[in-house]
């Protein structure tokens, strides 16, 4: 079954690297007009070379005012993938205000801000749409030195459910993903090796919701197509539950909520 995003416009945050970059490539290949958002311009330049025709926006999503200037008039968006995140490891007793504020501003506050921009536009246009929030296994499984990052991802999971309840009546579908050690920060910190998830491109299963946290999560590991591709393909699929024919009209606004 091949998805078809032709005629739709998608915005992906954290598009410069990893999951976000793979998601841009997947959506572009499936016919979507993609807006790639990253704070690193060199990443956007190389991504544009790989995906001719995409739009790029270089902005630090941790800056509310700069984000409003960059995306406030971005135009119609049918699908939003909130993927941008920052990870800095600190022991709980050494957490600093700067790291706390920066992590929450990028990982959670920007999700609220960018989602408001997109959702308001969908409602004003009177059309359905989809928002996908990328969470992490650390929303469910305890890791040392990740108190702040884990808190943002736990909050993301709850935020996704609240957004689904409030935006559902407007036909704005919410989707969520809980992913494993895909992010480079996890690999660099050695967390994947310590917890038995050494290879990138692996996804943690739904067992993470159970009280048996770590043990169930390890059984839930499933290989995907490494280096972000499997995850990005999964995100593309979640953005639509009507993958055959019908063009964008049948696709946008239908997403599974499995965060």
Region of residue 15 (phi > 0: left; psi between -120 and 50: alpha; otherwise: beta): alpha
Q: Out of 5, 104, 149, 204, which one is annotated catalytic?
A: 149
Contact by Cβ (8 Å): 135, 183: no
Residue with tokens 């078809």: 4
* Rounded Cα distance, 62 and 49, in Å: 26
* Rounded Cα distance, 6 and 252, in Å: 11
Secondary structure in 3-state letters for the chain: CCCCCCCCEEEEECCCCHHHHHHHHHHHHCCCEEEEEECCHHHHHHHHHHCCCCEEEECCCCCHHHHHHHHCCCCCCCEEEECCCCCCCECHHHCCHHHHHHHHHHHHHHHHHHHHHHHHHHHHHCCCEEEEEEEEHHHCCCCCCEHHHHHHHHHHHHHHHHHHHHHHHHCEEEEEEEECCCCHHHHHHCHHHHCCCCCCCEECCHHHHCCCHHHHHHHCCEECCCCCHHHHHHHHHHCCCCCCCCCHHHCCCCCCECC
170 is known as an active-site residue: no
Which of 5, 45, 1, 42 is closest to 23 using CA atoms? 5
Q: Which residues are catalytic?
A: 149
């Amino acid at each position: 079954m091949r998805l078809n995003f032709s005629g739709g416009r998608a915005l992906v945050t954290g598009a410069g690297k990893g999951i976000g970059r793979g998601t841009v490539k997947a959506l572009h290949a499936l016919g979507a007009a993609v807006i790639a958002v990253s704070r690193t311009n060199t990443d956007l330049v190389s991504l544009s070379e790989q995906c001719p025709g995409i739009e790029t926006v270089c902005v630090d999503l941790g800056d509310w005012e700069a984000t409003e200037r960059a995306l406030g008039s971005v135009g119609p968006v049918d699908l939003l993938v909130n993927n941008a995140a920052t990870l800095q490891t600190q022991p709980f007793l050494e957490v600093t205000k700067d790291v706390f504020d920066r992590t929450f501003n990028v990982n959670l506050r920007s999700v609220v801000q960018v989602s408001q921009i997109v959702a308001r536009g969908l409602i004003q246009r009177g059309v359905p749409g989809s928002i996908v929030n990328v969470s992490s296994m650390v929303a469910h499984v305890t890791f040392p030195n990740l108190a702040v990052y884990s808190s943002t991802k736990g909050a993301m999971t709850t935020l996704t459910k609240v957004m689904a309840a409030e935006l559902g009546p407007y036909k704005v579908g919410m989707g969520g993903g809980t992913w494993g050690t895909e992010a480079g920060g996890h690999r660099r910190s050695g967390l994947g090796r310590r917890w038995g998830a050494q290879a990138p491109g692996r996804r943690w299963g739904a067992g993470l919701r159970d009280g048996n946290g770590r043990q169930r999560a390890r059984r839930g590991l499933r290989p995907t197509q490494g280096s972000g591709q499997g995850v990005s393909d999964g995100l593309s699929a979640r953005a639509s539950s009507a993958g055959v024919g019908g063009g964008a009209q049948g696709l946008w606004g239908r997403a599974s909520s499995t965060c």
